[in-house]
């Protein structure tokens, strides 16, 4: 990841520096559009910390978040300078997440800008490896699409000032794109690494306190983030940090998570993750290590362990002690905290409760952080809620079904006969006018944001590189698929 950060630093800098100006220019052109609070051009990152607004926790009051909107009917069409997605106008790409791109989106209904994460379900299903043999023993691997729905289930429940908020999920079963609208952070990531302009200790302390509160909230709700780094820490309009991107997060039961799979960014991985003989490791300690690497980046502008070769990088993480450059000079208290966070032994590594009491974090106790019960509330993400958005593949017949859907570039039912398809109800996509699927007397009204659209244009304009071979005719494809299903049913007896 160090190499990745090095290569993308200049590109990210352009995005973060121009985003607020771009939003402002759009508002001037629109005349009637008012700039939302989340898009207000704020002070530069070199502004004195004392001039920033106090967080909701520090003010002692918290407003409950609005429930996440879930939209199952999506209309997509190409406009002159954007893609129209229901009430959203999707503009240029402003970033990338774990499983998709992030675009600037303007909501015409509320006249606000949001960050829209666009995920291709088709691309994720291809990553699943439908025809790979599943392991006979041990835990079954999680499919990428399942991880996305788990991320949504988590984000829908989270309500904390230092965690990014999921505003709306647009997931039409008949469309390839899964869209997630987040509050827009026009100031972008808290820091671009590497940089020649690291933070002062005062600035680093201000941001780090936000991270501590956000991570404590996640751990309180039994969530391990697993990918804490500057690019996943976004600045709100009040200058405070909000933790983003839960694409590789894990939930756990009990007091801590026992993890065995590798996930996250190499330069921010803990030593126990890159050690071959380790069978499992504690989740909370991983987040603490990544927070230590992030704090080091804040004050020195670079990662404590770096190498272009991934094997050499792992060796440095496992064996090389953390070194502090002569410049810039930092206090002994800060050095001590970083060393305790970058302790290579997870058993003796400092914990979040201990970090909250650290002399550097609290300024020798003169500025304590709020207690856990003062800013944390419990949420619960049930297995049923996750399963509502994703279906695993238990049988060969289901695999054949999805393969057919991919070939035809459609998520509609591929087993309907051609004659019946011509009688499909336009007001009830998926409903049929024959047999037991009779049309109701009055078709339900569509939402006001639902507009006429060409499905083919939407797939070509919205997501790129999603073309599948379509060499078989539709009728032949159905015959082949049905024959395979009959053989499977006959084999199962």
Distance CA 392, CA 228 (A): 29
Contacts of 226 (CB under 8 A, 6+ apart): 248, 249, 250, 259, 263, 264, 283, 286, 287, 290
Q: Binding site residues, as ranges?
A: 117
Contacts of 461 (CB under 8 A, 6+ apart): 76, 77, 78, 83
Residue 91, phi then psi, degrees to nearest 5: -100, -145
Q: Which residues are bridge partners to 78 per DSSP?
A: 83
Distance CA 489, CA 493 (A): 6
Residue 168, phi then psi, degrees to nearest 5: -150, 145
Q: Binding site residues for ATP, as ranges?
A: 117
Q: 13 and 280 in contact (C-beta within 8 Å)? A: no
358 included as an active-site residue: no
Distance CA 443, CA 458 (A): 25
Q: Which H helix or E strand runs over 334?
A: helix 332-341
Write down the catalytic residue from 12, 171, 176, 227: 227
Q: At what angle do helices 283-300 and 201-220 cross, to 10 degrees?
A: 160
Tokens of 145: 């699409």
Q: 443 and 427 in contact (C-beta within 8 Å)? A: yes
The catalytic residue positions are 227
């Amino acid at each position: 990841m160090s190499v990745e950060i090095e290569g993308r630093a200049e590109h990210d800098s352009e995005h973060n520096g121009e985003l607020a100006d771009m939003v402002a220019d759009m508002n001037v052109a629109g005349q009637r559009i008012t700039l939302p609070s989340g898009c207000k051009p704020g002070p530069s990152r070199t502004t004195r910390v004392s001039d920033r607004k106090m967080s909701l926790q520090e003010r002692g009051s918290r407003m409950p978040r609005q429930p996440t909107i879930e939209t199952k009917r999506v209309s997509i069409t190409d406009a002159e300078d954007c893609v129209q997605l229901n009430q959203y106008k999707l503009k240029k790409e402003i970033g990338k997440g774990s499983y998709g791109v992030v675009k600037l989106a303007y909501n015409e209904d509320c006249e606000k800008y949001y960050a829209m994460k666009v995920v291709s379900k088709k691309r994720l299903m291809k990553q699943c490896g439908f025809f790979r043999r599943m392991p006979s023993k041990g835990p079954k691997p999680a499919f990428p699409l399942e991880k996305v729905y788990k991320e949504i289930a988590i984000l829908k429940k989270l309500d904390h000032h230092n965690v990014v908020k999921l505003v709306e999920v647009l997931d039409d079963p008949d469309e390839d794109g899964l869209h997630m609208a987040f509050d827009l952070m026009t100031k972008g990531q808290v820091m671009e690494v590497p940089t020649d302009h690291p933070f002062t200790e005062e600035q680093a302390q201000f941001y780090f306190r936000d991270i501590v509160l956000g991570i404590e909230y996640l751990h309180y709700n039994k969530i391990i983030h697993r990918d804490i780094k500057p690019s996943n820490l976004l600045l709100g309009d009040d200058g405070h940090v909000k933790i983003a991107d839960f694409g590789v997060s894990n939930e756990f039961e009990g007091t801590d998570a026992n993890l065995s799979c590798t996930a996250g960014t190499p330069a921010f991985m803990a030593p126990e993750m890159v050690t071959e003989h380790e069978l499992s490791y504690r989740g909370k300690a991983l987040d603490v290590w990544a927070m230590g690497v992030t704090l080091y980046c804040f004050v020195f502008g670079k990662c404590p362990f770096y190498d272009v070769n991934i094997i050499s990088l792992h060796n440095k993480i496992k064996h090389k002690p953390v070194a502090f450059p002569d410049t810039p000079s930092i206090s002994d208290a800060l050095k001590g905290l970083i060393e305790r966070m970058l302790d290579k032994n997870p058993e003796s590594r400092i914990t979040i409760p201990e970090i909250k009491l650290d002399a550097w974090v609290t300024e020798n106790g003169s500025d304590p952080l709020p207690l856990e019960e003062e800013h944390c509330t419990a949420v619960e993400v049930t297995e049923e809620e996750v399963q509502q958005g994703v279906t695993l593949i238990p049988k060969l017949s289901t695999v054949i079904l999805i393969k057919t859907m991919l070939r035809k570039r459609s998520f509609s039912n591929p087993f309907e006969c051609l004659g019946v398809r011509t009688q499909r109800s336009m007001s009830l996509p998926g409903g049929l006018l024959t047999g037991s699927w009779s049309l109701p007397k009055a078709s339900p009204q569509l939402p006001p944001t639902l507009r006429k659209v060409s499905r083919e244009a939407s797939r070509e304009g919205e997501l790129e590189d999603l073309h599948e071979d379509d060499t078989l005719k539709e009728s032949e494809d159905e015959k082949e698929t049905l024959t395979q299903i009959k053989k499977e049913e006959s084999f199962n007896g």
